Amino acid sequence: MYQKKGGYEPYTMAPSGVRSNIVFQKIERDRTIVNNMASPSWKNTYSLSPELISQLEEAENKMESMEINEAEEILLSMISTDPNCIPALNVLGHLNGRHLSDFEIAIEYYEKVLILEPENAWARDERRRYRRYLDYD
């Protein structure tokens, strides 16, 4: 009689030999498709250079790891070279509102975005939210 050598082996009704079963073939095919998929593509609406995209991603990563000062430095350098960089202005608004609780500054950044792009729903909604926060005081 075969005796297991230890470790967890889940109970399964699946055949233990060569996986020629159609279900296993479909699972393997789907796993291959998922593993070969590229990250989601998105439209570079603002025609950002690869360098700016890299800086923006770095700033967002710094924010996620709570390195707020470093993220702010990156974003401020981005708008010093291009004061109309809408993605950087949006992220600065987010950084000031969410992470620094400086709602007035967040509103200012979102207003700059709305001057450049009046139909920007994200900036409009975030500005509205932070204005409400100011009204609570």
Domain membership of residue 115 (yes or no) is yes
Q: pLDDT digit string (tens) for 90-107?
A: 999 999 999 999 999 999
Q: What is the pLDDT of residues 29-65, one digit of tens each?
A: 766 665 655 544 567 788 888 899 899 999 999 999 9
Structure tokens at 107: 């509103």
Q: Can you give the residue range of the structural domain that contains 122?
A: 50-136
What's the pLDDT band for 69 if we cut at 50, 70, 90? Answer: very high
pLDDT of 110 > 90? The answer is yes
pLDDT at 43: 74
* Model pLDDT, residue 48: 86
DSSP states along 3-53: ---SS------S-SS---SHHHHHHHHHHHHHHHPPPPP---TT---HHHH
Please report whether residue 67 resides in a domain.
yes
Q: Is residue 119 part of a domain?
A: yes
- In whole angstroms, what is the distance from residue 57 CA to residue 43 CA? 15
Task: Give the list of residues 6+ apart from residue 78 with CB closer than 8 angstroms, or none.
Answer: 52, 55, 56, 59, 85, 88
Whether 44 is covered by a domain: the verdict is: no
Q: Is 12 a residue whose pLDDT tops 60?
A: no
Q: Is residue 63 part of a domain?
A: yes
Q: Could you give the number of structural domains in the chain?
A: 1
Handedness of CA 55, 59, 65, 70 (dihedral sign): positive
pLDDT confidence band for 131 (50 / 70 / 90): very high
Look up the CATH number of the domain holding residue 70.
Answer: 1.25.40.10
pLDDT band at 135 (very low <50, low <70, confident <90, very high): confident
Cα separation of 51 and 4, whole Å?
A: 55
